[in-house]
Amino acid sequence: MATEHPSPALPTPAPSRPYPKARPDYGKRTASGQRAPRADDFALMPERERYIAGYVDRLPEGAAMDIKSLAKHLPLYGQMAVSSALKALGVAGHLRRVRCLAGERDQVRWVSRTYWSRTARDNEWWDTFLTTEGSHPAPEATPVPPTADAGAQAPATASPLNVTTSPAAPPEPAPQQTAVASEAVAVGVTHPAPAPPAVPEQRTQGAQATPSPAYLALARLGRVDARLALSAADCRALEPLAAAWFTCGVDADYLTQALTAGLPAQVDSPVGLVRRRLTDKLPPQLTSSTAPATAAVTRGRRLLAECTECGRPGTPEALPDGLCRGCRTAASDTTPTAPAGPPAERDVHALVSRLRELTRLP
């Protein structure tokens, strides 16, 4: 009787190694205007660049694009070969490395990204693309709206000053006063309403107002350098001159640095020296045409291109082919040149004789 031998199950194929993922906001970014992949992609490039370009093209968004991660998953080439291939791909117009601000609200940081294009682009296209990417508005800090619980607890935590000065509902009469008033109405006797208790007036005339930033900056000069210690009267007298500096767009640190820089060894009249410097060193007033441009740059997302070879940051226009000036010069210097003519013939016998004489010397 024949014995059945069931065939074993087909072996499960080994799962492919997952793509290495970069940290959030880092890694690969696909440029816009990509065409569908074709079999002849990167056909005109050398074998090494074609192999690495095909691997990078298949990486998903956010995949790690650093040299170590790519060399770890490319068995045919090491880190030096991957670095040279990425440089060649950048010169060919397939990738650009950039730095940009990323984050939410006030938690922002610089991140490194690599924009990849299956289609080779020229420098003008990359400049326009990176400039457009850098003009996107950066995430701004948004105020947190008050919750319903906070609004409900606000009257309970109000200060006594707010309670006495703000309009409020009249106090409820006491139960005993209500009973007496009811009996008086029943008997027919009318009594005048009791006068409300007198509230003492708040003495706001003697309270000192909050000092201005100009006054505070002058008052701190003595803490920075004892030779410019000013009295309260001196600070009030110089406050209008210091306030003119703040209208020019400077801050307290700039004012302090300008007033304390290059002081003489001994200052006989601090108020006179500060008054003279506030008048002579007044910074220029920014025009209205430059203010919106400065504000737009501050609000926009800052994006800097990186050199593919050394990582030096710069504007997209200053890094043609993705390389800085130093790396472009070094690449041109190392380019092999054709020899001018055949090498001169050498006398081998004379050279050997000379080497033998050198070996005999003590």
pLDDT, residue 290, reads: 47
User: Closest Cα partner for 313 from 322, 325, 323, 304?
Assistant: 304
User: Which residues, 6+ apart, have CB-to-CB distance to 280 below 8 Å?
Assistant: none
Alpha carbons 339 and 343: distance in angstroms, whole number: 9
Is 101 in contact with 26 (CB distance < 8 Å)? no
What pLDDT sits at residue 203?
46
Q: What is the pLDDT of residue 295?
A: 43
In the CATH hierarchy, which fold is given to the domain comprising 27-134?
A: Arc Repressor Mutant, subunit A (1.10.10)
Q: What angle do CA 252, 257, 262 make, to 5 degrees?
A: 155
Distance between CA atoms of 152 and 55, rounded to whole angstroms?
A: 59
- Say if strands 27-30 and 107-116 run parallel, antiparallel, or are unpaired: parallel
Residue 356: predicted pLDDT: 82
- pLDDT score of 6: 60
**Amino acid 116: pLDDT:** 93
| Residues in the chain with pLDDT values less than 50 | 138-171, 173-190, 199-207, 288-301
0.95 cut: is pTM over it? Answer: no
Each residue of 207-218: pLDDT tens digit? Answer: 457 889 899 999
Domain with CATH 1.10.10 in the chain: 27-134
